[in-house]
Structure 1
């Protein structure tokens, strides 16, 4: 039976790291978990809106005003993705060093500057430079996910990450409605077209700064307070629950630490079940469960060498490869879907093809959270991380099948085409949610590094697939089935890899 009160009630919490075991979705005002959740998805949605604010106006209004050619428009799309790839790689380690809240606010404020300067551009080179620096906003996805992971426990973290990512991705669909509406409104009020599109970018710029200020003034780094105190807070929680052990709070990174003794030799099994005077809102756990959480899931500051070790472990490469396929395909398809519909259904016209293309992005509000929920449900039923991995690859293989079907059929029937794209979106976007349902289990002490590398891999996929689209002209169907074959092949190739490293303490 679903308990609806969990949507607004203060959640039950993990006794060691104070993470919530439910999501107070409807309570951003009086509950710090609900407030963090709201600011995570809303901040990313505003960032995504501004990141994709150019495409709705670029091909027609802006290109005509500054005399851009079609290949220059395509090049600007690739440049925007390249910048985000770089920022996501940097943002991951920054989250582990400085905390996701400050990294998130930093991305937003840095991206606000070029957003406000959008109106100063006069040629294609200016568009390239602006879109590169506006791409910083796409990097905000990483601190969004790391921050959410830091506030929600393993039983709901997949759903929480998928909701913040999915609701945030709505910005990619909303921008196709809002930016033309702002532009048209200004034109109707008498503003010249060449000024109206420039002034339009002030709107997302103001919202970005507003959200960044809210992050700095109204939110917290972790459930226990300041980012620098996270390890000490875990030690204090262990002491309060009479669990005798030391937590490595110096920043040393290792997946398997020596097992500490709990009280006396031979006493561990009996101590594990002793009552400890729990707070009313705390989830009860054994001593060993609390020790594993403290030793394996408190984020450490990684060295340069340790960052590379985490990035290139088989487990990180697995989630990154899957995200390369799903989010990479989503980014590339978002850029061409309206043109594909216009080619196959010319009678629909520009407005209707744009509306149908926007639906692909708007489905993220449902499909991505559902992928995370299915991932959490599989974990809850089996108590095995392998179940989450099986869900991820199932989504990936079915995504590939739909992509191949779209490409091979290249249907001229609206019902068939829109139905296949909706089916593809269900599994592709759900796969994004399932992916970040598994990410928190992989090297949880370096969650920022794993999230950043995985997010960057998604952008790398977007660049590769965008290049394939660029060099196949209007043969969109061919590219769809190529991406489908790659998606199925990559998922099958990494399906044998264990979901978490051998000997890892946390994340199980």
Structure 2
């Protein structure tokens, strides 16, 4: 859909600004909705539940607007199957064929280690700052929201880095961008798990923002690789990789972030999970693109679509 030499930037920016809503919501819900309700005399538990009505109504408004106002294609408001012929739904066999590719499996796992980590941290951070650093709920939510606000530029930066290294080093540059982003994500997540409450909260925040930068850059660099993995089954690959992100959040939530005596240990274990999949990055190799340590074995076909 986008030119090959800017595909990482385009996809990463679109997705990153979508996730930016998570950080905005953390701050908006507390400062504009929750706090005024509590100050007016409402119980905190009740105020939180009432505040949740607002995003629910917004979801309905957006959903109805998409249905009534948006076009299905650039040239028509409604998609007419008769114009393009009968569409063929992918079968279970198609999914099995795609999953036989070890590169796809590694990408699914790596996306579980970056986007999955972001989702897991969104669920954990406010509680961590509130209980471990003994902060007020509003302050803890604001710090947690800063993690999501990094989507304003961090995921785009991953896509931009992937595209720039691609222009300079070829496809090998995209793979190295993926490796380095995931590597430093794991490093800073582990470091976050070393910041105890004997240190000021802003030390934890500084490490958290470094982690946020690289976890979201890793998501952006993933978008620079996925479109080239299997162009015949790109929709299936994209769906599986996206599902891998959600699976990573489930694995982290149920496997790592369980109530234990040491509240910092889950972050350190999670960092090990990220590093494990990071070290499998050399599995990415295509004869026409090459890999981390080898150039292409055959001449690549002409790029699909124009460059910009």
TM bin (shorter chain) = 0.7 to 0.9
Q: Partners in 1 of 2:226 and 2:46 — Cα distance?
A: 44
> Does residue 1:434 correspond to 2:221, yes or no?
yes
Q: Which residue of 1 aligns with 2:91?
A: 303
Give yes or no for contact 2:109–2:277 (8 Å, CA) kept in 1.
Answer: yes
Q: Is 1:153 the counterpart of 2:29 in the alignment?
A: no
User: Aligned match of 2:18 in 164, 168, 182?
Assistant: 168
1:386 aligns with 2:172: yes
Distance in 1 between residues matched to 2:83 and 2:233, nearest whole Å: 14
Residue in 2 aligned with 1:208?
59
1:464 maps to which residue?
Answer: 251
Q: Distance in 2 between matches of 1:453 and 1:494?
A: 18
1:283-332 deviations in Å (ceiling 9; x for gaps): xxxxxxxxxxxxxxxxx753331132124422221221111111111122
- For residue 473 of structure 1, give the secondary structure of its aligned residue in structure 2: coil
**Larger RCO, structures 1/2 (Cα 8 Å, 6+ apart):** 2
Distance 1:401 1:199, change over 3 A: closer
Secondary structure of the residue that 2:160 maps to in structure 1?
helix
Q: If the length of structure 2 is used for normalisation, what is the TM-score? A: 0.80
Rounded to whole Å, the distance in 2 between the matches of 1:372 and 1:413 is 34
Question: Which secondary structure state, in structure 1, belongs to the residue aligned with residue 4 of structure 2?
Answer: coil
Structure 2 equivalent of residue 19 of structure 1: none
Report the CA distance between 1:186 and its aligned residue: 5.2
Tell me the secondary structure at the aligned position of residue 412 of structure 1. Answer: coil
Summarize the Cα distance change of 1:195–1:337 in structure 2 as closer, same or farther, 3 Å threshold. Answer: closer
Call closer, same or farther: CA 1:183–1:341 in 2, change over 3 Å. closer
**Of residues 117, 138, 150 in structure 2, which corresponds to 1:363?**
150
Count of equivalent residues: 292
Out of 118, 127, 145, the position equivalent to 1:330 is 118
Unaligned runs of 5+ residues in structure 2 are 290-297
SS of residue matched to 1:207: helix
C-alpha distance 418-445 of structure 1, shift in aligned 2 (>3 A): same
The structure-2 alpha-carbon separation of the partners of 1:360 and 1:319, relative to structure 1 and needing over 3 Å to count, comes to same
1:345 correspondence with 2:196: no
Superposed displacement of residue 491, structure 1 = 1.4
Q: Where in structure 2 are the equivalents of 1:110-121 lying within 5 Å? A: none
Alignment of 1:57-72 (within 5 A): none
CA distance in 2, matches of 1:163, 1:313: 28
Alignment of 1:83-232 (within 5 A): 150=1, 152-180=2-30, 181-185=32-36, 197-223=48-74
Distance 1:192 1:468, change over 3 A: closer
**Contact 1:338–1:354 (CA under 8 A) maintained in structure 2:** yes
CA contact (8 A) 1:386 1:498 kept: no
The structure whose Rg is larger is 1
What whole-Å deviation, never above 9, does each CA across 1:228-271 have from its counterpart, x for those lacking one?
67996xxxxxxxxxxxxxxxx887xxxxxxxxxxxxxxxxxxxx
| 1:441–1:507 Cα contact (<8 Å) kept | no
Answer yes or no: is the 8 Å Cα contact 2:26–2:144 preserved in 1: no
Aligned to 2:161: 374
After superposition, the CA RMSD in angstroms is: 3.3
Q: 1:200 and 1:408, CA in 2 relative to 1: closer, same or farther beyond 3 A?
A: closer
- 1:468-489 alpha-carbon deviations (Å, 9 max, x no partner): 3443525232122211122112
Q: 1:465 to 1:381 in 2, by over 3 A?
A: same
| Aligned counterpart, 2:187 | 401
Deviation string, structure 1 residues 61-96 (Cα, Å, up to 9, x no partner): xxxxxxxxxxxxxxxxxxxxxxxxxxxxxxxxxxxx
Partners of 2:232 and 2:79 lie apart in 1 by 14
Give the 3 Å change call, closer, same or farther, for CA 317–506 of structure 1 in structure 2: farther
**What are the ranges of 5 or more consecutive residues in structure 1 without an aligned counterpart?**
1-149, 233-248, 252-299
